[in-house]
Amino acid sequence: MSAVLARYEKLVAAGELRPDPEQRAAAERLDALQRQLESAPSTGLLGRFLGRKPAPPRGLYLWGGVGRGKSMLMDLFHDCLAIPEKRRVHFHAFMLEVHALLREARKSESGDPIQPVAAQIAAGLRVLAFDEMVINNSADAMIMSRLFTALIVTHGLTIVTTSNRAPSELYKDGLNREHFLPFIALIERELDVMALNGPVDYRLDRLGGMDTWHTPLGEAATAQVREAFFRLTDYPPEDSAHVPSADLDLGGGRTLHVPKSFKGVAVFSFKRLCGEPRGAADYLAVARAYHTVILVGIPRMGPDRRNEAARFVTLIDALYENKVKLLVTADAEPENLYEQGHGHFEFERTVSRLKEMQSDDYLAAGHGEA
């Protein structure tokens, strides 16, 4: 296995990455962490028997706007780290797993379920790496502080995570946020916090000037957004049959299946998002969870599809207000999607927003920026 910094410098030298001082600083920090972890002695048989783990190397919280290279650096770190006791997982998938484990623990345990769940997660691990840490609901906020205290302090895990937000901005203005403040203090105490927030959105560079609105519907439009997905996520096209899916927690025990979900990019059909009864809260959950949404199969709509048109308006409002990048395949340009029917006047605002969402200024904005 090679070192993180050497791999990063090789990519820069080959012209695959631009020289970027903040990226390099993060690569240096991850390189040092890699060396610490690989040189750390094993706990040994006696240590495992006594349940002891050495103090873990200090972890890292890497935050910054969309497209700044956070996931790329996490890829390098995880790929280069030559120890078997490592795990990388998208944060949303991790929280779904945590909630499932807590439900099972509550069935069999009479005490605090956090401790056995933390032990189960930590078993056999030294490093736990997260992509896209984000807190969207009070249930997750209530869990985080105690769970991560157990993982880091009790079980000695090294945590490495990326996020679009600084620790102090997580779950900002959320319900009962005071219960979440100890988690922020824990992150700032136990992890090094590094900003990767330069002016260049490297994901946009990867689109190479591709349009975001593709019409008419058909193979050509589908091929364009398919290529965009692979460029944005670095997912190998030859393995397209195995792109991960997800189930997005909508609250109240409801979930939304996301057919393709990887590195903050989601692919949905219009039918799934707007053809089924959904409200603003559902669309807000999508907008907060993903920095880019690819929406396929938008039809022309008339009076018989006024409900779908109304949901589409609500969806676009949520995406627009959270600066989510939108790529689509559609049967027409925005101004021709809904030319008559109830709510047509209100739809004109949506047309305006859809036009703005294709602009360079909008695409350059960070996810969630006001």
pLDDT, tens digit (0-9, with 9 covering 90-100), for 165-183: 899 988 888 888 888 898 9
Decide which of 3.40.50, 2.40.50, 2.70.150, 3.30.70 is the CATH code for 202-364: 3.40.50
pLDDT at 49: 52
How many CB atoms within 10 Å of residue 33? 21
Residue 313 has pLDDT above 70, yes or no: yes
Residue 226 CA neighbour count, 13 Å, CB half: 13
Q: State the Cα angle at 117 between 116 and 121, rounded to 5°.
A: 120
Average pLDDT, the chain: 87
Q: How far is CA 328 from CA 96, 197, 301, 316, 343, in A?
A: 28, 28, 16, 12, 22
pTM score, whole prediction = 0.62
pLDDT at 154: 92
Residue 46 has pLDDT above 50, yes or no: no
pLDDT at 294: 97
Within 8 A by CB and 6+ apart from 150, the residues are 114, 115, 118, 119, 122
* Domain spanning 4-195, CATH architecture: 3-Layer(aba) Sandwich (3.40)
How many CB atoms within 10 Å of residue 250? 19
Query: Where do the CATH 3.40.50.300 domains begin and end in the chain?
Result: 4-195
Of residues 134 and 3, the one with the higher pLDDT is 3
Q: How confident is the model at residue 17 (pLDDT cuts 50, 70, 90)?
A: confident
